[in-house]
């Protein structure tokens, strides 16, 4: 039996419609679950950078949530003044969304990290153990070679010594810039110093190998074959530790903590 052209076109259109409905339906239906998984992944990254979870470990969801809730205090701060903004609920605050909305953000000063807008408020984390502050965690982001890298840096209570760094999203090439995810490279960061003696952000990723922490405290080994990503990481870390990023927050913390 031979079908008319109209029948074939109609059949194809019907199949397309059914497929489109299935795809759209599952995208909408799975949105909540995707959002929950994104949140869980962020919590995992925060715990990893704080040294509370082994890099790459796979723990049950309940354990991650429980450790996060018992050890991490989320705070929303005013980025320009560095003071706490208690009016915003930290658990539902999306800093990236806030940075995109002109009503909750402002144009960033020129910077090497290609950060275009800065949020009025930012989400920071305190790591608390036995009632004592163990680390400060700050979100970081900036351009590498192919796109924006998003992650966290953790500082010790002296607000100077690095506890860890991690990225939860980037577009760098696996094996080159993508080595920012390599636990061995990330292990080069703890113990290095984020700021020089005058309080200027000084940490950076150098080309080639860095010396020991004692001899070369402000440098981390370069990512081989990925100088552009390495430079991007240097720029973004310095930007967020600097006066246009978390400088005011860290200054207010230092004044209160007496460090």
Q: How far apart are CA 185 and CA 167, in angstroms?
A: 12
Determine if 221 is a binding residue for ligand FMN (CB under 6 A). no
In degrees, rounded to 5, the angle at the alpha carbon of residue 215 between the alpha carbons of residues 212 and 142 is 70
Return the closest-CA partner of residue 43 out of 24, 239, 35: 35
Give the max Cα distance, the chain.
87
Question: Least distance from C-beta 222 to ligand FMN, angstroms?
Answer: 7
**Which residue's CB atom is positioned nearest to ligand FMN?**
177
Question: Which DSSP category does 79 fall into?
Answer: T
Using CB under 6 A, which residues numbered 225 to 254 contact ligand FMN?
Answer: 225-229
Question: Least distance from C-beta 88 to ligand FMN, angstroms?
Answer: 35
Contact flags string 131-160 toward ligand FMN, x per CB under 6 A: --------------x---------------
Determine if 208 is a binding residue for ligand FMN (CB under 6 A). no
* Nearer of residues 109 and 175 to ligand FMN, judged by Cβ: 175
* Nearer of residues 113 and 229 to ligand FMN, judged by Cβ: 229
Q: How far apart are CA 148 and CA 196, in angstroms?
A: 26
Determine if 85 is a binding residue for ligand FMN (CB under 6 A). no
The CA–CA distances, whole Å, from 1 to 9, 11, 14 equal 16, 15, 20
Determine if 166 is a binding residue for ligand FMN (CB under 6 A). no
Number of residues that bind ligand FMN (CB under 6 A): 11
- In 108-254, where do the E strands start and end? 117-119, 121-129, 132-143, 148-155, 162-169, 204-205, 219-220
Among the residue ranges 35-43, 62-70, 171-179, 185-193, the one whose residues contact ligand FMN (CB under 6 A): 171-179
């Amino acid at each position: 039996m031979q079908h008319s052209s109209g029948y074939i076109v109609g059949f194809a259109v019907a199949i397309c419609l059914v497929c489109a409905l299935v795809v759209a339906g599952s995208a909408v239906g799975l949105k909540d679950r995707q959002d929950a998984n994104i949140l869980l992944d962020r919590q995992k990254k925060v715990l990893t950078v704080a040294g509370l979870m082994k890099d790459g470990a796979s723990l049950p969801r309940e354990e991650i949530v429980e450790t996060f809730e018992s050890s991490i205090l989320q705070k929303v701060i005013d980025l320009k003044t560095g003071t706490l903004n208690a009016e915003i609920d930290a658990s539902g605050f999306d800093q990236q969304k806030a940075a995109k909305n002109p009503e909750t953000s402002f144009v960033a000063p020129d910077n090497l990290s290609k950060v275009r807008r800065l949020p009025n408020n930012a989400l920071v984390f305190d790591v608390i153990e036995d009632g004592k502050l163990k680390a400060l965690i700050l979100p970081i982001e900036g351009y590498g070679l192919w796109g924006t890298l998003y992650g966290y840096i953790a500082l010790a209570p002296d607000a100077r010594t690095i506890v860890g760094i991690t990225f939860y999203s980037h577009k760098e090439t696996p094996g080159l810039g993508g080595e920012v995810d390599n636990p061995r490279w990330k292990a080069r960061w703890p113990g290095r110093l984020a700021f020089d003696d005058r309080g200027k952000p000084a940490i950076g990723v150098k080309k080639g190998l860095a010396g020991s922490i004692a001899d070369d405290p402000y440098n981390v080994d370069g990512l081989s074959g990925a100088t552009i990503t390495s430079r991007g990481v240097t720029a973004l870390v310095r930007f967020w530790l600097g006066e246009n990023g978390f400088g005011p927050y860290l200054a207010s913390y230092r004044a209160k903590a007496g460090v």
